[in-house]
Chain A
């Protein structure tokens, strides 16, 4: 009878199209918006992911990765003195102003890597060599810088020069890294040169990056370093989630995206629920005839469920497919942000499952109460 149920559904083309469109739109809305939200959250953690050190040491008052409270240079040595530290290096991150060849300005995020080890270097170089950072005035720019400068009519390539706070910067490499939350280009250089680019200040150390010796976990090392006065040591994954939690708690981003996701749910429930109810209602006479002919309640329930879940499955497939297509398209342009972890389609599947179950239950309630004798009225 499931075959019969599906034929009844698929051949009622108007209601079938309405149901599938409603559920597809609902899936698309929820999937796309959730993925953009996840993408935005990934942008907030770009620094952590790009640098990738196991343990991050920051000022004790820091609440998330993008909040830089400068520390004294001596903190590097204090961290190195903690038992179990394999290595500890300084890292500078600060927003500076770059002046381009035509006199226009662009805010950039200068990343100063430890001169000796270049710890935290970008892993994906599309042009040049990272080691060339040791040459005078050299910097490595990311793809975002190339794109932003191109929009201003300046072509960035190896050998291009510009100024950061009146000091010369010469491009020796181009890399591809995760873009930052505020969209400023990353400019990589050595730690010492980064301090020259930065405005003079008594405290200039942004982070101390550290790694544990073999046999010690990053969490354990972070706990040991955390005991030092005035600093806070955070394991990489903890800093990642701490940053995301901070943005969720302190910005209106989740409310904005959450509203759209809830709207998707309401649209889905309203359209699918109502249309499916109408579909079942229109077929009640025939379902009563089936009942009179000897169909069990369980058979009719299976028919209604098969109809509800088949439109759900098809609508979900189309919606998630469109969201993935959208993601693929925007990923090529890197704006707006888009990141679809498996949890997003799984969450949307659960919501669609709920909508289908809700719709089916409304219909089933009618079917279960149906008197087969109504066919004679």
Chain B
């Protein structure tokens, strides 16, 4: 980990309309994520973790505050710019994996490269290499339903890494996995995703994976209520 800031969130407000009233999901949340670290955002259900993740990666607009990712002010970027920014700089790992069931592992993994305009053959070659790195070299032609939950998550990790993004966004990466698979997934993520020029942000409420975090941000009711360098501090907080 170095001290260079990758993501800075300052007093961000985000609300959703709920009939006649508005529901505030973020009420001035602030945090920083640094290069070379795994930052976990934790908190109870409905506290705004996922909304915060969505505004950080630009999939959701925010109303107030400022978010800079790699020194780019997301609030000042147009939709097209944000889309391109995501395509080039962010890798996603979703809670339900979101692997296309009708595509093989290698085809799923090659999607971020194809979205960047790379030829299919080149994208699949690179995808296969990444799959081999995560131990799925033999399964590159398998469809998601032919893989176990842990293997599917490894395919999802490969898809998040294949285009070498600088920010990895993980939404509850262990929610659909048993304890052992979840542990292995985090080990793999730490080993393959974490690099000095890369930042990993994980939203989770799975306390079993807290030890993998370099820093933990705790949220409640749309606010960041605590920053911890050590997960044991969180458990005592």
Residues on A lying within 8 angstroms of B by beta carbon are: 1, 3-4, 7-8, 11-12, 285-286, 289-296, 299, 371-373, 375-377
**Contact status of A294 and B87, CB under 8 A, knowing A289-B94, A376-B54, A376-B59:** yes
6 A-B residue pairs with Cβ-Cβ distance under 8 Å, sorted by A, are A3-B114, A7-B102, A292-B59, A293-B112, A294-B83, A373-B60
Asked whether B98 lies within 8 Å of A286 as measured between CB atoms, the reply is yes
State the Cβ distance, A4 to closest chain B Cβ, in Å: 6
State the Cβ distance, A13 to closest chain B Cβ, in Å: 9
Within 8 A of A (CB), among B68-86: 80, 83-86
Find A373's partner among B54, B102, B112 (CB 8 Å cutoff). B54
**Contact status of A289 and B102, CB under 8 A, knowing A375-B92, A376-B59:** no
Complex-state Cα separation, A68 to B92, whole angstroms:
81
Nearest A residue to B60 via CB reads: A373
Starting from the known contacts A285-B98, A376-B59, 12 additional A-B residue pairs (CB-CB under 8 Å) come to: A3-B114, A7-B103, A7-B107, A285-B96, A286-B98, A292-B59, A294-B84, A294-B116, A371-B59, A373-B59, A373-B60, A377-B50
**Contact status of A292 and B115, CB under 8 A, knowing A375-B98, A376-B53, A376-B59:** no
| Binary A-proximity of B177-217 (CB < 8 A = 1, otherwise 0) | 00000000000000000000000000000000000000000
| Binary A-proximity of B26-66 (CB < 8 A = 1, otherwise 0) | 00000000000000000000000010011001011000000
Find A376's partner among B50, B80, B120 (CB 8 Å cutoff). B50
Q: Which residues from chain B contact A12 at a C-beta distance below 8 Å?
A: 102
Asked whether A294 lies within 8 Å of B86 as measured between CB atoms, the reply is yes
Asked whether A296 lies within 8 Å of B59 as measured between CB atoms, the reply is no
Q: Which residues from chain A contact B176 at a C-beta distance below 8 Å?
A: none
Complex-state Cα separation, A8 to B144, whole angstroms:
13
Q: Which residues from chain B contact A290 at a C-beta distance below 8 Å?
A: 111, 115
Asked whether A371 lies within 8 Å of B115 as measured between CB atoms, the reply is no
Q: Which residues from chain A contact B102 at a C-beta distance below 8 Å?
A: 7-8, 11-12
Find B111's partner among A293, A371, A375, A376 (CB 8 Å cutoff). A293
Q: How large, as a class, is the contact surface on chain B?
A: 20 to 34
Asked whether A3 lies within 8 Å of B120 as measured between CB atoms, the reply is yes
Q: Which residues from chain B contact A1 at a C-beta distance below 8 Å?
A: 114-115
State the Cβ distance, B82 to closest chain A Cβ, in Å: 9
Complex-state Cα separation, A269 to B102, whole angstroms:
26
Q: Which residues from chain A contact B83 at a C-beta distance below 8 Å?
A: 291, 294-296
| Binary A-proximity of B1-43 (CB < 8 A = 1, otherwise 0) | 0000000000000000000000000000000000000000000
Asked whether B50 lies within 8 Å of A8 as measured between CB atoms, the reply is no
Asked whether A4 lies within 8 Å of B98 as measured between CB atoms, the reply is no
State the Cβ distance, A19 to closest chain B Cβ, in Å: 14
Complex-state Cα separation, A296 to B84, whole angstroms:
8
Whether B88 sits at the interface, judged by CB under 8 Å, is: yes
Nearest A residue to B159 via CB reads: A293
Complex-state Cα separation, A7 to B98, whole angstroms:
16
State the Cβ distance, A11 to closest chain B Cβ, in Å: 4
Complex-state Cα separation, A296 to B87, whole angstroms:
9
Complex-state Cα separation, A285 to B96, whole angstroms:
10
Find A8's partner among B53, B59, B100 (CB 8 Å cutoff). B100
Asked whether A376 lies within 8 Å of B114 as measured between CB atoms, the reply is no
Asked whether B92 lies within 8 Å of A292 as measured between CB atoms, the reply is yes
Nearest A residue to B104 via CB reads: A7
Q: Which residues from chain B contact A286 at a C-beta distance below 8 Å?
A: 98, 100
Complex-state Cα separation, A8 to B108, whole angstroms:
11
Asked whether A372 lies within 8 Å of B59 as measured between CB atoms, the reply is yes
State the Cβ distance, B79 to closest chain A Cβ, in Å: 9
Q: Which residues from chain A contact B95 at a C-beta distance below 8 Å?
A: 376
Complex-state Cα separation, A245 to B79, whole angstroms:
57
State the Cβ distance, B114 to closest chain A Cβ, in Å: 6
Q: Which residues from chain A contact B54 at a C-beta distance below 8 Å?
A: 373, 376
Asked whether A293 lies within 8 Å of B94 as measured between CB atoms, the reply is no
State the Cβ distance, B40 to closest chain A Cβ, in Å: 16
Complex-state Cα separation, A88 to B194, whole angstroms:
98
Nearest A residue to B80 via CB reads: A296
State the Cβ distance, B117 to closest chain A Cβ, in Å: 10
Asked whether B59 lies within 8 Å of A4 as measured between CB atoms, the reply is no
Asked whether A293 lies within 8 Å of B115 as measured between CB atoms, the reply is yes
Top 8 nearest A-B pairs (CB, nearest first) are: A294-B87, A11-B102, A372-B59, A373-B59, A373-B54, A289-B98, A294-B86, A373-B60
Asked whether B94 lies within 8 Å of A375 as measured between CB atoms, the reply is yes
**Contact status of A293 and B86, CB under 8 A, knowing A11-B102, A375-B92, A376-B53:** yes
Q: Which residues from chain A contact B92 at a C-beta distance below 8 Å?
A: 289, 292-293, 375
Complex-state Cα separation, A291 to B57, whole angstroms:
12
Q: Which residues from chain A contact B171 at a C-beta distance below 8 Å?
A: 375-376
Complex-state Cα separation, A372 to B112, whole angstroms:
15
Find B103's partner among A8, A299, A371, A376 (CB 8 Å cutoff). A8
